[in-house]
Amino acid sequence: MSDVMDRDQVEIFARGLYHLASVDGIDERELTVIREFLSEAGQSSLFEQLSQRPFDLHEAHDVLETSFLRRLFIRAAIVLVRADGELSAAERTAVEGLADAFGQSDLLGELEAEVDGVVAFA
């Protein structure tokens, strides 16, 4: 993962995922997704800082500068919000808002289908 993303990108991903997890109450399964992501990226130490530094959409837009990274983030967001086995209306709205902000709205259904085809949820 570190070959694909630099530390700032990993951090904004993790902060964004933590933000999404908090939308309807953080579940341990959601935290597991974030921990695994940070571990794979070689940045496990960032986990303890996530609650201290809020997610900023404008910063994320600047840091995740390519459509590839933005699509990757939306896929990760879909995995995260489904990790607890329930997709709340608040989570759905939050993911749709992120997809819209990153110019990925037209691909949201396709990204959800890709995630569904690869990941088994609780």
The CA-atom distances, in angstroms, between 40 and each of 2, 16, 37, 53, 60 are 8, 17, 5, 21, 20
The whole-angstrom separation of Cα 69 and Cα 88 is 25
In the chain (122 residues long), the average pLDDT of successive 10-residue segments reads 81 96 92 95 94 93 94 90 85 90 80 63 48
pTM metric for this prediction: 0.86
